[in-house]
Structure 1
Amino acid sequence: MEVFAKPAVGAIIEKEINGVLHILIQERCKEEHSEDNGLIEVPAGKIREYENIFDSLRREVWEETGLKLTEIQGEEETIVTNCNGYKVMSFNPFYSSQNISGTYSIMLQTFICKATGELLENSDESINLRWISLEELKTIMEENEGAFYPMHINALKKYLNEKLN
């Protein structure tokens, strides 16, 4: 039986605290694929069939964090075409990742976002939700990259490189 990669979305959510840029991180705590529990990640999840990717991102962020996305970088440049019975949406995420080995196959589109609301203490899929400065994030990544969920490492490295250089 053929098995296909699952499409997924992720959010690097920015927030300025006392003049310092922070992003939201959390620790995985899922029933499915529990071997990854405890790894640091950004809010993310799978896209439902025919679900608009931005709606999916808003839903996943809400479910995992209690936050409402107010801005998704690149959403305003989205192009939608209706032709031959298809409705096709084209967009540019901040970063795209595909795992080519591991527990299960996913393709992740990561976006830079802003949000409002109060953070949940934890959710059904994540714990220890917190805002972290980019400098602190960089230090943790340099000292212990293995503490992070692998699907987010490259996007976070790119993000840090762009913001700190």
Structure 2
Amino acid sequence: MERFSIPCVAGIIEKQINGTTMILLQERWKENAVKEEGLVEIPAGKIRENENIFDALRREIWEETGLEVEEIHGEKEAGIYASNGYKVLDYMPFSCSQNIQGNYPILVLTFICTAKGELLEKTNETQNIRWAPVSEVEASLTSDSRSFYPMHVASLRKYIQFLKK
């Protein structure tokens, strides 16, 4: 039986605290993903059928963190083309990752964004939601990248390099 990759969206939510760049991290706690319990991740989730990717990112961040997205990098440059019954959104994510082996065939499009509001303590999918200095994230990725959800490792490394430029 032919299977298809599931499109997902993720957000690297950044915030400045006392001159330090912080990003939001959380730990996975999903009923149907026991092997991934406790892995560090960024907010992410599936894109619903015909859902605008930016709306999906806002929804997922709200559901998993309680935060309201203020800005998504690249959203203002996105365009819509309509023709022959299609309405096509053209956009550029910060990073793309595809799982090409294993039981969960997903494709994650990651964006950098900012958000406001009060963090939830936990949800039915996440816990230990917190702001972490990028330097701490970099050290953790260097010392033990296996403690992170694999779909987000390359995007986080790319983000850290992006900040150093």
Which of the five TM-score ranges fits, normalised by the shorter chain?
over 0.9
Contact 1:122 1:128 (8 Å CA) reproduced: yes
- Aligned partner of 1:10 in structure 2 is 10
Distance 2:160 2:103 in 1: 27
Spell out structure 1 runs of 4+ moving beyond 2 A: none
Within a 5 Å distance, the mapping from 1:113-128 to structure 2 comes to: 113-128=113-128
SS at match of 1:156: helix
Distance 2:36 2:150 in 1: 9
TM-score by length of 1: 0.98
- Aligned partner of 1:29 in structure 2 is 29
Q: Is 1:73 paired with 2:73?
A: yes
Structure 1, unpaired ranges of 5+ = none
Q: Which amino acid is 2:115 matched to?
A: A
Q: Which amino acid is 1:26 matched to?
A: Q
Distance 1:41 1:153 in 2: 9
Identity of aligned residues (%): 52
Distance 2:132 2:92 in 1: 26
SS at match of 1:141: helix
Deviation at 1:35, TM superposition (A): 1.2
- Aligned partner of 2:82 in structure 1 is 82
Within a 5 Å distance, the mapping from 1:71-150 to structure 2 comes to: 71-150=71-150
Contact 1:33 1:103 (8 Å CA) reproduced: no
Q: Which amino acid is 2:57 matched to?
A: L
- Aligned partner of 2:55 in structure 1 is 55
Distance 2:32 2:48 in 1: 17
Structure 2, unpaired ranges of 5+ = none
Distance 1:127 1:54 in 2: 24
Distance 2:51 2:9 in 1: 11
Deviation at 1:34, TM superposition (A): 2.1
SS at match of 2:2: coil
TM-score by length of 2: 0.98
Distance 1:81 1:51 in 2: 15
SS at match of 1:97: strand
Distance 1:97 1:11 in 2: 13
